[in-house]
Amino acid sequence: MALYYAIDPAGFYLGSDLELDDGEGMPPGYAFVSQPPPTPGESQFVRQGGDGWVLTTEGPPTPVDPALAVPVAVDMRQAELKLHSEPHGDGTRLDAVSAYVATQDPFVQIEWRRASELRRDHPMVGIMGFFFGLSADDLDQWFREAKAIGPTLAL
């Protein structure tokens, strides 16, 4: 018989164990390690460390809801379609960004015109946020919405 302990991807003991016959194989999410020590209180956790178990007051990381995750980047098609869908003055935000880019150095114009993606950490995003009065949270939401834009034309 072998005793396996439930451990999350960060190495935290999840409080359960499983006894299996030899040769049954280790189930996913379990590890064959020494027995974890008891936790002295509710605010302490046990994590597998380099030299064995470690008591810590920092708990396992809270999983991020995928719907709330901010995309690192969107492709330029998504960015331009999103900007085109947003009214601004007598036109759209895409019109305003295009007019702004046209006044910039040729290197900026080439970068905007030829980029395959728009990264959330790109300086242009900060300028766009300032220009349109968008907060960091607004820009995060803008990226979530842009990332959700799928194909728009059936070929």
pLDDT digits (tens, 9 = 90+) for 6-63: 787 778 777 778 787 777 777 777 777 777 777 766 667 888 777 778 888 887 777 6
Per-residue pLDDT, averaged over 136-152, amounts to 91
Lowest mean pLDDT among 26-40, 65-79, 109-123: 26-40
Q: What is the mean pLDDT of residues 75-80?
A: 96
Q: Is 45 exposed, middle or buried (0-12, 13-18, 19+ CB in 10 A)?
A: middle
Query: Using CA atoms, how far apart are residues 16 and 121, in angstroms rounded to an integer?
Result: 41
Higher local confidence (pLDDT), 5 or 66: 5
Structure tokens at 75: 């492709």
More confident residue, 138 or 11: 138
For the chain, the three-class secondary structure string (H helix, E strand, C coil) is CEEEEEECCCCEEEEEEEEECCCCCCCCCEECCCCCCCCCCCCCEEEEECCEEEEECCCCCCCCCCCCCCCCEEEHHHHHHHHHCCEECCEEHHHHHHHHHHCCCHHHHHHHHHCCEEECCCHHHHHHHHHHCCCHHHHHHHHHHHHCCCCCCCC
Q: In angstroms, how far apart are the furthest CA atoms of the chain?
A: 74
Q: Would you kindly state where each structural domain of the chain is located, as residue ranges?
A: 2-56, 73-147
